[in-house]
Amino acid sequence: MFAYYLDLALRSLRRNKVLTALMVLAIAVGIGASMTTLTVVHLLSGDPIPGKSSVLYFPQLDPENPARPDHTEPYPAMDYRSAMDLWSAHRADRQAIITSSSVKVRARDTGRPPLILGMLSTSADFFPMFEVPFQYGSGWSAQDDARHARVAVISHDLNDKLFSGEDSVGRTVRVRDTDVRIVGVLKPWRPTPLFYDPWARNFSKTEDVFLPFTSSMEINEGNFQAFTCWHVPDDTHHLQNADCVWVWLWAELDSPAKVSSYTRFVTDYAQQQKAAGRFATGKEHVRVRDVMTMLTERGMVPGDVRLQAWLASAFLAICLFNAVGLLLAKFLRRSGEIGVRRALGASRRAIFAQCLVEAGVIGLLGGFFGWLLTLAGLWLVRQQPVDYAHLAHLDIGMFLATFVMAIAASLLAGVIPALRASRVVPAWQLKAL
Amino acid sequence: MQIRPILAALRRHRLATLLIAMEVALACAVLCNACFLVAQRWNLIRINSGVDESALAVLTVNGFESSQAADVNARMLAGLRGIAGMQSVSLINQVPFGPQAGAAGISRDPGSFKNKIGVVDFVLGGPGTYEALGLKLVEGRLPQPDDYRPATNFAPPDAQVLVSRALANHAWPGESPLGKEFWCDKLHFRVIGVVDHLARAHPRDWGAQAVEWAVFTPVLPGGSLAGTYLLRANPADLPRVLRTARDAVAKIAPDVVLDQENSRTIGDLRADYFKSDRIMIDLLIGVIVTMLGVTALGIVGLASFWVQQRRRQIGIRRAIGATRADILHYFQTENFLIVTGGIVLGMVLAYGLNLLLMTQYELPRLPLFYLPIGALVLWGLGQLAVLGPALRAAAVPPVVATRSV
């Protein structure tokens, strides 16, 4: 029966090509617009480190003193002292202390002019915690952290630039005024969003140079930037004792028990500091969030993208209303035919099914052209000067979703017209013939 | 034209009528809000930065120690001033649409941030910067040589500053801002002048009200005021002058690193800063046009169907004396009634959509005049769309009445 309905549907669609084209176009445009924006939203709200995002935690507390009445959330970073205290307590399975800055880098033997690069200051656990992939060598050890060792890990990009992609482990680069030995070279690595860095740029690249936190404090002293300060520092170049937030932590906690005990530890610390008069706010502003919660809280999807998604949905709704109207016209125009079929014994259900098959075929065609439009839309997104542009590709899931959505939309649009068509009274139509 | 028979006929086609009305209502809601968003963005990208954008460029170098700042400044100023066509070179910490260097909260009292005024941008400039920017003084006086003081912190401990008119109106409404004082923690500022306009580095980030909350602070070069240079040249010469200046850096100061991204004309920085807004405007206009097109197609489709369905009735009406104009007007009035119904619903929807957008984004309330404009557009669109089918209906000959279809 299905094959027969399909045949009928195709014949009917061929009979009025303009109307068919209009309906397919309306659905295709609606699907194309909404799938483009939904794909972008879907990609931007993805999990940057699947499999580990639920065991990585971002502790926050609020060192601001005096407290600001309009602040209900702590800053996404801490002052140096709190971060150091929490990190050196080693209360998590693995933990990384992090900050970032820019630094001048030269490779003396290459003769290239110096570069200003982003440097991530962190500790040994960073690499295993975030499953950072290595091309050559490896990360540094906890002893290197303790010894303030002059070692570095460099990005794949930088290795290409300075050493044309060769194994550069053991060679040295000059970071500001200090020679550091390269111990590892990363594979191309670009977690998106750049979750481990809570500062605003969601879709930036990773830093090019990774140095032990302890050694980088000495090497790049004076060049660290504060996220914000609540007192103007006496010396803007030395933030260690300033009332500024600029350092943050990540902790790996693989069981709920560990999470609650770590949370208790951070809370106790905040309470102690409050009691000692250093903090104005204690446990009220303590947060220990996992990756996805932290990212949701910070707002991953840019406002413009959400706005586009809203617009596209409204647009799809308009296209659907349009399709319902046109399908209604199309089906009722064939009332005479339907009357004959009913008179020859077809049930209402059969007419209904036939109409829905026709709507489904239109949906399939709309989905196909919608898919092409989505590809074109994503291509347009990639041409935009936005930092997430490189992400805009259609994955298998969204490819299938395009068709599912198109067919669902056209079936939905077909239900009311099909119901109307199945209620055609055969006698009236036969009389009119 | 009698409306009663039209309404009676529409009652027999409730579903189709409702569909068109709903489509018009949604289109009306989206149209009003999308136009409003376009207008918002348009106002944003036309911000008056207050500076002579076409004559200014910025050149940024870094990678030197703060102990070298005085030496780098001296060499850069001397070297860049020697370039043919260069009108002036001076020190600045930030320019409109470039990287933000000095945003800080200010208050009317010293110490902790009580009695807050807001977060403002501090534009620090060395001697010559004020003149080079081309700011327009509306009140007070220009900075004098002894107003330029060394900055021990990011700003001098006691500074004589000029504020934008927008900031003056916000901080001291209805009062003369001249001589007024404000504080940033322990740093003290006194207002000596008011400039007409001065945009902050990232005008979009701080809300529509705070676009021009900027303070021009005269500072002696050195310390934190080093490495960013404001170049002024004849607008026609500017691209060449900037290119020469960029190439000259390697000779003037071989140790420093030129910041490629932030060594550009203010015009380029501005175009870049608002690129995403321009795209959004194009996109919104695209959506509006396509949406109106789809709505029009829907009206054409359904109207054609009705005309075909009623051929016989039209023939009968023509046979008993209706003129072609009567038939034409019948379909036009019918469309007007349906679209009007859609518009009434659409205005409610438009308002609701605006409320929703207001909770999601920092958007003001939809000005009411958008609603009648939206209504006019949709009425026009409906009439245009129905014209073809209505003319076809008017062309139905009376003889149809005597034939069976």
pLDDT per position as a tens digit, A248-267 = 999 999 999 999 999 999 99
Q: How far apart are CA B55 and CA B87, in angstroms?
A: 9
pTM score, two decimals?
A: 0.83
Burial class (CB in 10 A: 0-12, 13-18, 19+), A222: middle
Model confidence pLDDT, tens digit, residues A88-133: 999 999 999 999 999 999 887 777 888 999 999 999 999 999 999 9
Whether residues B276 and A386 touch (CB distance < 8 A) is answered with yes
Whether residues B20 and A325 touch (CB distance < 8 A) is answered with yes
Q: Give the pairing type, strands B214-220 and A287-290.
A: unpaired
Q: Which amino acid is at A136?
A: Y
For B402, phi then psi, to 5°, come to -90, -10
State the average pLDDT over residues B345-359.
90
Model confidence pLDDT, tens digit, residues A54-80: 999 999 999 998 888 888 889 999 999
Closest to A224 (Cα-Cα) out of A364, A327, A80 = A80
Closest-CA distance of chain B to residue A55, Å: 31
B228-233 β-sheet, strand order: B86-91, B228-233, B56-62, B257-258
Interface contact A345, partner B, CB < 8 A: no
Whether residues A222 and B66 touch (CB distance < 8 A) is answered with yes
Interface contact A111, partner B, CB < 8 A: no
Q: Residues 202 to 241 of B: which have CB under 8 A from any A CB?
A: 224
Average pLDDT along chain B:
90
pLDDT of B378 above 80 = yes
A85 to A76, A148, A269: CA distances (angstroms):
17, 18, 9
Closest to A377 (Cα-Cα) out of A24, A21, A31 = A31
Residue B405 pLDDT: 46
Interface contact A10, partner B, CB < 8 A: no
Smallest Cβ–Cβ distance between B301 and the set A22, A311, A432 belongs to: A22
Q: How far apart are CA A46 and CA B194, in angstroms?
A: 48
How many C-beta atoms lie closer than 10 Å to residue B231's C-beta?
Answer: 25
Q: How far apart are CA B388 and CA B114, in angstroms?
A: 68
Residue B112 pLDDT: 64
Residues of B whose CB is below 8 A from A232: 104, 153-154, 184-187
How many C-beta atoms lie closer than 10 Å to residue A191's C-beta?
Answer: 16
Q: How far apart are CA B76 and CA B69, in angstroms?
A: 10
- For the ranges A374-378, A386-390, A423-427, the maximum mean pLDDT occurs at A374-378
Identify the three-state secondary structure at position B6: helix
Closest-CA distance of chain B to residue A329, Å: 6
Q: How far apart are CA A89 and CA A70, in angstroms?
A: 32
State the average pLDDT over residues B173-190.
92
How many C-beta atoms lie closer than 10 Å to residue A418's C-beta?
Answer: 23
Among residues of chain A, what percentage have pLDDT more than 70? 99
Whether residues A332 and B405 touch (CB distance < 8 A) is answered with no
For A171, phi then psi, to 5°, come to -85, 170
How many C-beta atoms lie closer than 10 Å to residue A171's C-beta?
Answer: 17
Closest-CA distance of chain B to residue A266, Å: 27
Model confidence pLDDT, tens digit, residues A287-345: 999 999 888 888 777 778 888 888 888 888 888 888 888 888 888 888 888 888 888 88
Place of tokens 């120690």: B65
Among residues of chain B, what percentage have pLDDT more than 90? 61
pLDDT of B133 above 70 = yes
Model confidence pLDDT, tens digit, residues B11-67: 887 888 888 899 899 999 999 999 999 998 998 899 999 999 999 999 999 989 888
Q: How far apart are CA A351 and CA A294, in angstroms?
A: 53
Q: Return the domain boundaries, chain A.
A: 2-45+302-432, 56-298
Size of interface A-B (CB pairs under 8 A): 127
Residue B269 pLDDT: 95
Cβ contacts of B193 within 8 Å, gap of 6 or more: B137, B139, B140, B141, B142, B143, B162, B163, B178
Among residues of chain B, what percentage have pLDDT more than 70? 99
Q: Which amino acid is at B194?
A: V
Q: Which of A20, A101, A115, A307 to mutate to test the interface with B (most CBs of B within 10 A)?
A: A307
Q: How far apart are CA A93 and CA B133, in angstroms?
A: 55
Q: Residues 300 to 329 of B: which have CB under 8 A from any A CB?
A: 301-302, 304-305, 308-309
Q: How far apart are CA B314 and CA B311, in angstroms?
A: 5
A158 to A104, A162, A171, A209, B323: CA distances (angstroms):
13, 6, 13, 8, 82
Among residues of chain A, what percentage have pLDDT more than 90? 44
> Based on C-alpha coordinates, what's the Rg of chain A?
31
Closest-CA distance of chain B to residue A29, Å: 9
Interface contact B405, partner A, CB < 8 A: yes
Model confidence pLDDT, tens digit, residues A12-66: 888 878 778 888 888 898 888 888 888 888 888 888 888 899 999 999 999 998 8
Whether residues A19 and B250 touch (CB distance < 8 A) is answered with no
Q: Which amino acid is at B397?
A: P
Interface contact B290, partner A, CB < 8 A: yes
Q: How far apart are CA B11 and CA A424, in angstroms?
A: 18
Burial class (CB in 10 A: 0-12, 13-18, 19+), B27: buried
CA atoms within 13 A on the CB side of B113: 19
Is residue A307 within 8 Å of B361, Cβ to Cβ? yes
**In degrees to the nearest 10, what's the CA dihedral of B134, B135, B140, B144?**
-50
Residues of A whose CB is below 8 A from B185: 231-232
Place of tokens 């199309």: A330
